[in-house]
Amino acid sequence: MGSDSAAKHRQRAPGRLQTYFRLAVVVAAVTTLWFFTRDPQPLRLSHQLERQNARRFKAQTVGPAPVVTAQHAAQDTASTHDAVALSTGEEQGEEHDGQALTKRGEARAGLHARGVYRLTAKDIDGVEQSLAQYMGQVSIIVNVASKCGYTASNYQGLQAAYESFKDKGFSVLAFPCNQFGGQEPGTEAEIKEFAASKGATFPLFSKVSVNGAETHPVWEFLKLQPAFRDGGDIRWNFEKALIGRNGQVVKRYGSSWDDAQMRADIEDALKSAYDEADAFR
């Protein structure tokens, strides 16, 4: 019996191998068929998602690109066009040779060096004024109001500082603003009369917005300066910016008037070197 069983087992062994071989062939054929007939869309979507995630990570790491508004672009274009045109002769259709390109770069550098002094603003009488007339001076730019709790101390302090330092190259540029508590409601003529009653003789400009969509370019510039970004938007009346001789913000101040601190900072700013030729060449 034992020999018969062993013989039968040996006879069935080749048959099992053939069965396994056939099964392997079938599996291979089915796999090959699937590979060449599958829909590649899911794989493509997977790759797209990977690329999107990679771009998102890069954006988060590097940070968003600086936002340049149409208003900023228009201001920069307007302020640089004349100087660049004169330097390069582009309005006459002249070719931009090496010398012209050098002059163009110098013109752009000069306008950048002027900072806020490259802008214009209407004075209290409605006349457009170029702030370039203050180039090389130290200034305080301030948003004033006639009916604020800080009005008396600031008008007194600003006028006293103006009288003390104006002969050394210092000025106060005051911009009335009615955005905080409605505390500058008057007309330009009324504001001018009020300032005169306070003994103010420093330059006074027309009423402006310092926050929001209608922000005046001067205040838009101030809020973009690194030394002015600690608080973002203007928070109340009589916030002040100390401007250096090159038109850049040196320091930002709140609504209160600290006479000793302001005078010390003004004196330090007046000591800074300034080359007028570099700014206007």
> CA triplet 118, 205, 241: central angle to 5 degrees?
60
Q: Which of 119, 148, 195, 208 is catalytic?
A: 148
In the chain, beta strands by DSSP E:
120-122, 128-130, 138-144, 170-176, 240-243, 249-253
Q: Are 174 and 200 in contact (CB under 8 A)?
A: yes
- Cα separation, 212 vs 128, in Å, equals 22
Q: Which of 236, 268, 274 is nearest to 250 (CA)?
A: 268
Q: Is 177 a catalytic residue?
A: no
The bridge status of strand 120-122 relative to strand 138-144 is: unpaired
Q: Determine the angle formed by the axes of helices 259-270 and 151-165, rounding to 10 degrees.
A: 30
Do 169 and 276 meet the contact criterion of CB atoms below 8 Å apart?
Answer: no
> Active-site residue numbers?
148
